[in-house]
Amino acid sequence: MDMKATKKKLGIKERYAHMTRGLGWEPTYQSADAVFPYDKYEGIKIHDWDKWVDPFRLTMDAYWKYQGEKDRKLYAVIEAFAQNNGHLNITDARYLSAIKLFWQGVSPLENYVVQGFARAGRHFRGEASRVACQMQAVDELRHYQTQAHSISNYNKYYNGFHSQRHMWDRVWYLSVPKSFGEDALTSGPFEFLIAISFSFEYVLTNLLFVPFMSGAAYNGDMSTVTFGFSAQSDESRHMTLGIEAIKFLLEQDPANVPIVQGWIDKWFWRGSKVLALVGMMMDYMLPKRVMSWKEAWEIYAEENGGALFRDLARYGIRPPKGWADACEAKDHLSHQVWLLFYEYGGAAAFHTWSLTDEELDWLSAKYPDSFDKYYRPRLEFLRDKHARGERVYQGTLPTLCTTCQIPLCFTEPGDPTKISHRETVHKDEKYVFCSDHCQEIFGNEPEKFVQSWLPVNQIYQGNCFNPDVDPTAPDFDPLKAVLEYFKYNLGRDNGDFEGSEDQRNFAMWRGQASKN
């Protein structure tokens, strides 16, 4: 009689390996270097691609099943939100400015990350890393789509949500996340991984997602909260990918260590600048606040990031060069950026406003070392002027940093009363920067950054008007012409919240919902 040998059951990890490994092959018609032309020129040396630990451990079959269920749950909430006029349950129409900022400036970045991972997923030689990057590309596409569908409900009722794709390529403040994303997209595949997977998804993502999603929860926006949960269940996998990526690079060859260090220095600094927008949102734009930007920075950057860099020290990696300056800025960043947007409130496609005494007191309490001394008097001065009917709007254009593209509104480390301003002359051309670190990033890659499309410079060069305008006409208003080129609905998308259409409509609809 035949005896059937009882096969030992495979562990989860082995089962996964059998289904996913060995998918690659050695090319014969073309050399491997010709098939994968971009994974060597950055100087990164990989000796054994099999050492890549796959953090996803999902087969495509299981992946669709998961994401399908997540989507079913999310779309049920979005549907219910729309049917029940969920937009009238938010704390206050000022909250909409936070969501406008997210939609205009963060969601398109997700779309860039789709492209970046799709490209990285094509260009790595190891198949496990290709699979991981391709799956993250699909994840990011889903995030962009779910954000679009969650937020589109607001677009039915409120201003500023309408022309996201058009604005992204033109509007001055959106060039900050756009240039960040394009810098990453045009990097080599390994730098992209360190820029996005490690520096952004791992080190800084909690500073983006937690404030926005908790802010949504605190302010009654269930639709955004639900897409946040749905995305966060992917986000942890993305963070793990960042961790695996950096370990893999550092362990493969000692020559990789200084290259990776350079990328960490660059991308930590770039990320911390992009997050200035989040800081302003947390401290100023949420009617009901969650925590201050400073508190969030202390928990997510200083505490968690500190623990990470203590561990990375074992590989010979030190904290990013801009670390101390970024930590010092936690007392100033959000206030400086809000003041910038308040004064340029005529040119932003969301509203700004004067703070109430209660809100100023909250900031005084959260920022005992800086707010009363440097910022409260300015905000009160602006509020008084506004009350007298002299709302302050800047009519001139600011100087932009060539690297991060933020107007020069940040102050010198150690002196919050002096604007930080740096200059480099490269091939007889002068370039301006907001900080030592942005200047150094330019210095390391001048050929890349001389190509920066700086909105202010482009406006002055006459490249930001619609084709039919005539700048020689006697009644030509250049600022108005630029805002039309941005596709703003003038007087509805921009300006102060006080007296805005969003404010009036929200009050009226809420009144109809709660009274006869």
Instruction: Please give the residue ranges that form the binding site for another protein (CB under 8 A).
Output: 9, 11-14, 57, 65-66, 69-70, 73, 229-230, 232-233, 235-237, 239-240, 243, 247, 251, 254, 303-304, 306-308, 310-312, 314-316
In the chain, the amino acid numbered 406 is I
CB nearer another protein, residue 296 or residue 347: 296
CA distances from 462 to 28, 174, 360, 466, 471 (A): 53, 19, 40, 10, 9
Residue 7's Cβ-side half-sphere holds a number of Cα atoms within 13 Å equal to: 3
Nearest distance, CB of residue 150 and another protein, angstroms: 14
Nearest distance, CB of residue 91 and another protein, angstroms: 24
At residue 411, φ and ψ (nearest 5 deg) are -105, 165
Nearest distance, CB of residue 437 and another protein, angstroms: 23
Nearest distance, CB of residue 55 and another protein, angstroms: 8
Contact between 354 and 386 under an 8 Å Cβ cutoff? The reply is yes
- 3-state SS assignment for residue 289: coil
CB nearer another protein, residue 3 or residue 12: 12
CB nearer another protein, residue 232 or residue 466: 232
| Closest CA relative to residue 379, chosen from 283, 275, 516 | 283
CB nearer another protein, residue 205 or residue 354: 205
Nearest distance, CB of residue 481 and another protein, angstroms: 46
CB nearer another protein, residue 312 or residue 339: 312
Which residues are CB-contacts of 245 (< 8 A; sequence separation ≥ 6)? 129, 193, 194, 197, 198
Nearest distance, CB of residue 57 and another protein, angstroms: 7
CB nearer another protein, residue 199 or residue 230: 230
CB nearer another protein, residue 56 or residue 367: 56
CB nearer another protein, residue 202 or residue 344: 202
Nearest distance, CB of residue 177 and another protein, angstroms: 25
Nearest distance, CB of residue 233 and another protein, angstroms: 4
Provide the token pair at 79: 């549907």
Which residues, in sequence order, are bridge partners of residue 415?
412
| Closest CA relative to residue 179, chosen from 454, 492, 444, 396 | 454
Vertex 267: Cα angle to 326 and 318 (nearest 5): 70
| Closest CA relative to residue 238, chosen from 273, 212, 213, 202 | 202
CB nearer another protein, residue 307 or residue 387: 307
Residue carrying structure tokens 């398109």: 108
| Closest CA relative to residue 240, chosen from 267, 210, 204, 201 | 201
User: Distance between CA 115 and CA 130 in Å, rounded?
Assistant: 14
Which residues are CB-contacts of 171 (< 8 A; sequence separation ≥ 6)? 104, 349, 455, 486
Q: How many residues does the chain have?
A: 516
Nearest distance, CB of residue 81 and another protein, angstroms: 16
Q: Which helix (H) or strand (E) holds 270?
A: helix 256-274
